[in-house]
Structure 1
Amino acid sequence: MRSSIARTASLLVAFLSVAFLGASGVASAHVRYVVDRGAAVEALRFLVETLSNPFNLFVLGAGAVGLLAALGAYLWVRPLGRDVDAVRGALAGYDDLLPWLFRLSLGLPLVGAGFNGYYFSPLVHAEAFAPAFGDLSGVFVRLFGLAVGFLLLFGLATRLVALVGLAAYLAGVVAFPALLLAFEYVPGFVAIALLGGGRPSADDLIAAVAADERTAYSRVDPVYRRLAVPLGERIEPYTAFVPTVVRVGLGLAFAYLGLVEKLMNPGVALAVVAKYDLTAVVPVGPELWVVGAGLVEILVGVMLVLGLFTRAFSAVAFLLLTTTLFGLPDDPVLAHVSLFGLTSALLITGAGPFSVDGWLHETIAGRRAVAAETD
């Protein structure tokens, strides 16, 4: 009876915590994609005044306590343990689809960027390249997005295209710091470069034909045996770090959005709250909306970087993105596809190496082994 009550209570606390995170998420993601500018607001004074309000402090504190209680209750009670293990096992079974998922996650938004004439992020339009390319700036930006995007979708020369995309993004960040809002492209490109095209892809199809010595193509192919096979063998040991790369990169992206876009630039975030009348959704002050959204994104980012409750906070990140898209109707959907894809990938892979989750798993497994030996 007590065990049943404890499970029910832990599930209730978890539900309330997730509901709080989801409500805050409506003001999350890229606020500068939906408003041009906001009133000049001094960030430090705004934060101090917001946290000096007893009601705001109570709401934020209650949310933090509820979250800690939910995590603690889960570790203590482990409700629906077998169900959770079954879900994890099913998700892990999709690992062969990861290369395809990564290619879709970056290829689709890049094709959209090409058609719409912006460079990775809607904040960097083709006109920004006019000093370098003149009247051809629009052609350059569109061709780049379409070429890299479609090659990724087809899975043709996948690793090379990913490296080209990564170099282009990093060069763009130097010229246009606003591209940091699309930082998730970095772990995405690195993951694709490590995993290759996977299946289905043009690379896999070409490799199958080139590997068959009976085919005419296998006798003239200049890439498969001399380059693709040796390169794949050298990279293979590092593919285990793909979850780590994605987790840390995605965590930094979320933390950056929460800190820089929300807490350090509250004027723009307040403009989003006013534009969509978010105070009517949850009757709290606009300053609490902004601070709450910023803190939630920072929390998600930190937990992903640490690799603590990775799948759970990947699900929270997915929830934040989903509520944002439904709550902000003119938010550019394609600009968030990369975030959706990478969070989905973490649901499949889990934390990977160099994570708190991994350390906890090894510790618990070790203790169970010792207990079994003593019995």
Structure 2
Amino acid sequence: MDLELTPAQRAFRAEVRAFIAERLPQEIRERLRAGHPPRKQDTVQWQRILNERGWAAPHWPRRYGGAELGQMERLILLDELYRAPAPLPQVFNLTMLGPVLMKFGTPQQCDHFLPRLANLDLWFCQGFSEPGSGSDLASLRTAARREGDEYVVNGQKIWTTTAHVADWVFALVRTDTGARKQEGISFLLIDLRTPGITIRPITSIDGEHHLNEVFFDEVRVPVANLVGEENRGWDCAKFLLANERTGIANVGLCRERLDHAREVAARTRQGDARLLDDARLRSEMAQLDAEIRALELTNWRFLLTPSAQQALPAFASVLKLKGVELQQEINALLARIAGPAGLERRGADDTVHGPLTPRYFYSRAASIYGGTSEVQKDILAKAIVG
């Protein structure tokens, strides 16, 4: 397979790069370049700009507001967003829930929710993980009993990213407690303003509030908010998780962070010399650059070659593992370059140094979310032995 970009693909990259340069607010770019996470208003503002071109949901059909881009064009768009850097379109809305609604939702659900998901008029979060469940998602205990035209939900979710700023949550709930654990699960859309919902913050190791606990106490949800069939929510979950792994290698993110490491090393001095003049540091950066390129080529082969697609999920596990390792190595490199200055707590508007060491700490979580590294290794072992 030819892994070089075609003239049309190179032209598309130039088009995307020019659009970002013209439309991305400089203040947002500078904050992200320094390592700060995007604020909610940053993501909403930028996603609505992208949505004007159908690029908020580039893989969606045009009738739902997408652009129907091919796989390579989607990779190019994602790569340029990472490298700008720009806020990514809200993943729970566009990569996870949107495709689930198109496959399992009713026409009424699609007509109501999909335009709002694309334009970020509604912000969804994901209610899957629960205390004590770990990676065994099917062992969830949050239950929903049906009373007439409503489900009554009781239980708890944890590690719920952005629940504190979200409007809705899509959640897995158990609707048949007597069934086997992969059965008897349903997929519900729940308005977080509904009485009986309590959201409590979890502060992560970087000192930021990304995560939450969400409690449901006799929460009433219309049956019309059920996606797919009752007790068949596991089908929705498996489909969603397959979409979640698309682009999980995060090649563009790795490249952008390495470029930033070069910038920081160029302005950081050790005695009379710049850190970037150190031969060992340049060698380390060159090795990381080569590994990023190898990851990029592997990602292309996986997403663009039919024979590689047949290797899913083993091939996807390779991308997840290597992508995570590179992200963590580059964040560790940035923390070393920053030295003691990187340990200081930086304000949200500091675009000179940024939160380099807190970013390193938080990068450790990449070994867990999206499927733990241990689980990925088990998948690879079974593929090799089997």
Which TM-score tier does this pair reach, normalised by the shorter chain?
Answer: 0.3 to 0.5
* Higher relative helix content: 1
Look at both structures and tell me which one has the larger radius of gyration over its CA atoms: 1
- The structure with the greater share of residues assigned to strand is 2
TM-score (norm 2): 0.35
Q: TM-score, normalised by structure 1?
A: 0.36
